[in-house]
Structure 1
Amino acid sequence: MTKDKALHALMLTMGYGCVAIGLFHVLLGNSAIPGESSAGPTIDSLGRFFGAIFAGYGVAWIQAARRSPIRTTAVRRLAGILFLGGLGRILSLAVHGWPHWFQVALGIVELALPPLFLWLARTDSEQ
């Protein structure tokens, strides 16, 4: 598989995954958050709102993947947003301690995937 095909496949996987996760949070609210099903209505409202935003983020990945050629700038921006989310998890860990193990796993993915996206999106002139 070429780098371009791998990038396209990873971007679509990311996009559809984010849409699915976002809609899951919109529909299930607090029940979608591991260990937090008993959180109150304020957290439920916030979670459903951010679920919709995350679904929109997924749509942005899908749209970027459908461009030909794929725009490196779009990949960099979307990967940067994902990385920023991972940094937010580190900040939360520093301030409040260790979250549910699944949130830790998500943080690792959020910090590991952006460099892969950036590497796959590099043009020949940037190497």
Structure 2
Amino acid sequence: MGKALRVLTLLMGWSCVAIGLFHVALGNAAIPGAESAGATVDSWGRLMGASFVGYGLAWLWAARQRPVPAQGVRWLAGVFLLGGVGRLISLAVHGEPHGFQIALTVIELALPPVFFWLADAEERVLRDTAAGASGTVGR
């Protein structure tokens, strides 16, 4: 489980950094359907892109820890899930967005439970290993 958690955390980190840099570089052109949204949306999108780079760096930091911090992964996955919930609210309030945004919503709602599960499993393994090393198993 630890290897799967580390690999998925690394993939998440690098993906977020790449997506964030893409948004910083391209602004509105990075958002399907927003090419003509204007300077305000472009400015906001580039700012959010920079924030997403920082979010990705937090994932990469977590992946480089030994062991991967389960609590940190849960928080980062929770933020990702919140993004998906935000998209659902937008869908309810404003209707269906571009199809690519729907696909992102599915990913943002489906992936956090996987991270929660992997983090919990890794935490249990570490706790059981520590308990076994201290001689408290079965007492």
Tell me the TM-score range normalised by the shorter chain: over 0.9
Q: How does 1:1-127 map to 2 (within 5 A)?
A: 3-122=1-120, 123-124=123-124
Is the radius of gyration larger for structure 1 or structure 2?
Answer: 2
Q: Give the Å deviation of 1:108.
A: 0.4
- Deviation track 1:48-80 (CA, whole Å, cap 9, x = no partner) reads 000000010000000001000111110110000
Aligned amino acid, residue 113 of structure 1: L
Q: Give the Å deviation of 1:90.
A: 0.3
CA distance in 1, matches of 2:68, 2:18: 23
Aligned amino acid, residue 109 of structure 1: I
Q: Give the Å deviation of 1:15.
A: 0.2
Q: Give the Å deviation of 1:18.
A: 0.2
Aligned amino acid, residue 14 of structure 1: M
Q: Which runs of 5+ in 2 are unaligned?
A: 128-139
**RMSD in angstroms over aligned alpha carbons?**
1.1
Q: TM-score, normalised by structure 2?
A: 0.87
CA distance in 2, matches of 1:108, 1:87: 10
Runs of 4+ deviating beyond 4 Å: none
Q: Indicate the percent of aligned positions where both proteins have the same amino acid.
A: 60
CA distance in 2, matches of 1:11, 1:65: 6
Q: TM-score, normalised by structure 1?
A: 0.95
